[in-house]
Amino acid sequence: MMRTLCFSAALALVLSLIPMQLSAQQAPEESFSRWKVDLQTQEERLRRQEWNAVAKASRGLIEEMVDGMVAGEATSPMLALALVQQAVAESALGNREEAVWLLHLGQNLDARFREVSLASYGPAGAGLERFRLREPGGAPVAGPPLPAAGSYEPPQVLGQEDPRAPKALADSCIAADVEVEVMIGADGRVIEPVLLTGQKFPSLALVALESLRRWRFEPARADGMAVPALLRTRISNRGLRQAAAAPPETFQCIVMRLADLDDRLRKGEGDTVLPAVEKLVSRLRKLPEPGVLAAGLRTLALAEAGTGRKAEASWHWLVSQNLQPGYDLDLGAQGEAGAFLAQHVLRRSGEAPAGLEAVAVADLPPGSTPPRKIEGEEPAIPEFLSSPQAPRWVRLQLVIDAQGRVVEPRVIAGRHDAMRWAALEAVRTWRFEPARRDGQPVAVFLDVELPPRVETPLAEIAPLAGAWGEVHALLLKQQWSEARNRALALVGRVTEEGGSGDPVRSGAAVAFLALADAGLGGSLGDCYWHVAQSVSGGALYHADLSAYGAAGALLEAGNPWLLDKKVFRAGAAPTGETVERPKKIPGGGVPEYSTRDRLARIQGTIIVDALIAEDGRVAQPWVVKGLTPRLDLKSLLTLCNWRFQPATLDGKPVSVYYQLSVSFRVD
């Protein structure tokens, strides 16, 4: 009974060193939860003296932790505990040298493990009690004495091996040297390394220490005799340095790169930071990752303001606020550059810039003339939005001053940061014949949709021959039930007979289904309408649905470019907030193979980017990576039926853009 109580006390002490949760910058939440359960399971196995099982499982668990951990001292006790657990198991199996090495690794990562008693593990733990990690400059407790300083020739490195590059650190572009003090025995072997640097990146420290086992040394010599001695050295990780030098691709890498640049700006290194951040932002414009472009532009604006480029700084600061409105950066900590940018606050919609009076074009009195564009560029489409199905729309509110210049454009709605910036850069070049009231030029508010919408009746876009015309006639008569049944048949035709090769024909079939569903008061009309716009290759972006009464008005009100509600991205953001991911509710069905694609043995995974609303419904789906037009369309329509527990921020439901996948496999 006493042994059980003693063991339980030790178990509680060791596990209490593990934090309740980690931030996304330290380790993925799902990994952290699994590791904690695994560590508790290992403790139970140690209590049952299942030494082989613990030793085997610990090796895999440690490897997984090393590849999954990023930053944060909170991760150190987890990795240290796994090492100490393996040390106890190896000790019980008679592998004393390996056990002592593992124990010292754990104590290096978390010094608190030097004080944890291992006696409760029986002889296996008691046998390790005397092998406490030495202090820097000291000799091992159970090792040979050291010669007096200056009485020997120091040891020399004969050969070394680079540490491996942990995946999470490589993905985060983290590279740092690790400083250690090692004792080199008279036989040239490393006896007991001690970390001299902190444990900000415990996996980095561990792989550095482990690499020392493969280093070879010429031992120190005193009077021609080999003697043990201490040696301090820095260990560089070549693999991580190569990853850090490459263009950033992952979210974590971008965040870490920006954090480093921000830190250098605070140290007054603006002249060297500016070209680096310009290069980084140029790269970020080509990536679909949300949030990072705004963060990059903030850093760029600070660097420009700090180096005297005030005009570009104020513009990039304005763009960053447009991409991420409401983000509160402590500009007071940024010195003169921050003070300058603090004067440039993004105006609210409908609010005129300081010192300027403006009226809405619709409020101009009779006889007035609206502004007329006379020159300017069109937005440059980012490469990742080159697909005709990609949502490129952006809605802006411009202020056109009395000289015909665009002043302080404001984004009202837009799906992708890079496209919103492209739109802002384009309207910056626009010039207008100004609006005139009573013959005098005046400043006005002008709402703009890009690409420009030319409203065209759906009947002039959709093919109306044969069955398509028959369904359309039913919609005009508002015979919704019959129209819905016939529209479903049309959708079946384009997904089975190969007609989906014509995107407008496919889009029209789904648009008819959306109108019928809306007319019947169904819940899928909006999603179907968004699918129709996507698969039509942009043709239905211009569609006017006023001919279909309340059903058409309902769908038009849900056009994405008319909605200005904030939409988040699930997961961690560069701003530090973490949006909990939506969770799918069982049901909703799975898409079936089309006959043609099954016979052709088409298989793979379709990736769809969609909006998951606060009520858990799917909207605005579009195919990022597809298989065939038929399977893509079947997948999009099926996703409209899926329901989710919504994403949450601080416990409250929020709308998020979220990637979904649908797989097709031929049996």
Shared domain for 576 and 632, answered yes or no, is yes
pLDDT(2) > 50: no
The helix or strand, by DSSP H or E, that contains position 216, with its residue range, turns out to be strand 216-218
Strand 543-544 and strand 456-457: the pairing is parallel
Which of the two residues, 20 and 270, has the higher pLDDT score?
A: 270
How many angstroms from the chain centroid is the CA of residue 582?
A: 15
**Would you state the pLDDT for residue 330?**
82
pLDDT value at residue 532: 96
Give me the residues paired with residue 222 across strands.
Answer: 225
Query: Is the residue at 145 inside a domain?
Result: no
Show the tokens assigned to 492.
Answer: 């079946």
Q: Could you give the CA distance from residue 391 to residue 622 in angstroms, rounded to a whole number?
A: 8
Q: What is the mean pLDDT of the chain?
A: 89
Q: Which residue has the higher pLDDT, 623 or 574?
A: 623
Residue at 347 is within a domain: no
The verdict on 553 and 579 lying in the same domain is no
- pLDDT > 70? residue 23: no
**441 shares its domain with 424:** yes
Q: Is the pLDDT of residue 4 over 60?
A: no
Whether pLDDT at 1 is above 50: no
Indicate whether 115 and 27 sit together in one domain: yes
**What are the φ/ψ torsions at residue 195 (nearest 5 degrees)?**
-70, 135
- Asked if residue 133 belongs to a domain, the reply is no
Q: How far apart are CA 372 and CA 381, in angstroms?
A: 24
- Asked if 114 contacts 132 with a C-beta cutoff of 8 angstroms, the reply is yes
Is the bond into 451 cis (omega within 30 degrees of 0)?
Answer: yes
Inside any domain, residue 482: yes
pLDDT digits (tens, 9 = 90+) for 149-158: 889 999 999 9
Residue 62 in tokens:
């440690």
CA atoms within 13 A on the CB side of 378: 8
Within 497-617, residue ranges assigned H as helices are 503-519, 525-535, 549-557, 595-599
* Shared domain check, 475 and 554: yes
Tokens of 405: 């210049």
The percent of the chain in helix, strand and coil, each rounded to the nearest 5, is 45, 20, 35
Residue 317 and residue 373 in one domain: no
Q: Is the pLDDT of residue 606 over 80?
A: yes
Tokens representing 457 are: 């009746």
At residue 477, does pLDDT exceed 90? yes
Calculate the alpha carbon distances from 384 to 20, 246, 255, 286, 391 in Å.
39, 20, 21, 7, 11
| Residue whose C-alpha is closest to residue 274's, from 305, 244, 245, 247 | 305
- What distance in Å separates the CA atoms of residue 337 and residue 610, rounded to the nearest whole number? 38
CB 324 within 8 A of CB 398: no
CB 219 within 8 A of CB 254: no
Q: What is the pLDDT of residue 3?
A: 34
**CATH code of the domain containing 435:** 3.30.2420.10
143: in domain: no
- Domain co-membership, 115 together with 22: yes
Domain boundary among 244, 260, 277: 244
DSSP code for 486: H
In a shared domain, residues 308 and 192: no
Residue 526 shares a structural domain with residue 594: no
Tens-place pLDDT, residues 639-659: 999 999 999 998 999 999 999
Q: Is residue 149 part of a domain?
A: no
Q: Are residues 205 and 256 in the same domain?
A: no
| Cβ contacts of 621 within 8 Å, gap of 6 or more | 527, 530, 531, 534, 608, 609, 610, 611, 636, 639, 640, 660
Amino acid, single-letter form, for residue 14: V
**Which residue, 165, 184, 186, is CA-closest to 176?**
165
Q: Is the pLDDT of residue 287 over 90?
A: no
Q: Is the pLDDT of residue 431 over 50?
A: yes
Q: How crowded is residue 375: how many other Cβ atoms within 10 Å of its Cβ?
A: 9
Q: Is 419 within 8 Å of 392 (Cβ atoms)?
A: yes
Do 122 and 15 lie in one domain? The reply is yes
- State both tokens at 288: 């679909």
The dihedral sign for the CA sequence 381, 382, 386, 389: negative
pLDDT in tens, 159-208: 988 999 998 888 888 888 899 999 999 999 998 999 998 767 899 999 99
Section 369-385 average pLDDT: 94
Rounded Cα distance between 54 and 92, Å, is: 11
* Strand-pair category, 216-218 with 156-159: antiparallel
- Mean of the pLDDT values across residues 429-443? 96
Q: Which of 396, 425, 445 is the last residue of a domain?
A: 445
**Exposed, middle or buried: residue 645 (CB in 10 Å: 0-12, 13-18, 19+)?**
middle
Q: Is residue 107 part of a domain?
A: yes
Residue 350 neighbours by CB distance under 10 Å: 10
Average pLDDT over residues 292-302: 93
CA distance 491 to 236: 60
**DSSP conformation letters of 202-249:** HHHHHHHHHHGGG-EEEPEEETTEEE-EEEEEEE--HHHHHHHHSPP-
Q: Which residues contact 212 (CB under 8 A, 6 or more apart)?
A: 180, 182, 190, 193, 235
Range from 252-256, 516-520, 547-551, 584-588 carrying the lowest mean pLDDT: 252-256
pTM: 0.74
Q: Residue 421 belongs to what domain range?
A: 359-445
Q: Which of 129-138, 209-218, 285-294, 591-600 has the lowest mean pLDDT?
A: 285-294
Last residue of a domain, one of 310, 341, 372: 341
Classified as helix, coil or strand, 314 is helix
Q: What are the tens digits of pLDDT across the range 549-559?
A: 999 999 999 99
Would 166 be classed as within a structural domain?
yes
Q: What percent of the chain has pLDDT over 90?
A: 68
Q: Does residue 136 surpass a pLDDT of 60?
A: yes
**Could you give the CA distance from residue 137 to residue 657 in angstroms, rounded to a whole number?**
55
Give the pLDDT of residue 498.
Answer: 57
Mean pLDDT across 1-25: 43
624: part of which helix (H) or strand (E)? strand 618-625
Stretch 477-498: mean pLDDT, rounded? 92
* Number of domains making up the chain: 6
pLDDT band, very low/low/confident/very high, at 484 (cuts 50, 70, 90):
very high
Q: Residues 582, 516: one domain? A: no
pLDDT single digits (tens) 245-275: 777 777 778 888 888 888 889 888 889 999 9
How far apart, in whole angstroms, are the C-alpha atoms of residue 235 and residue 453?
Answer: 59
Q: Which of 519, 513, 514 minimizes the C-alpha distance to 477?
A: 519
**Tokens 């819905």, residue?**
484
- CA–CA distance, 517 with 261 (Å, rounded to integer): 52
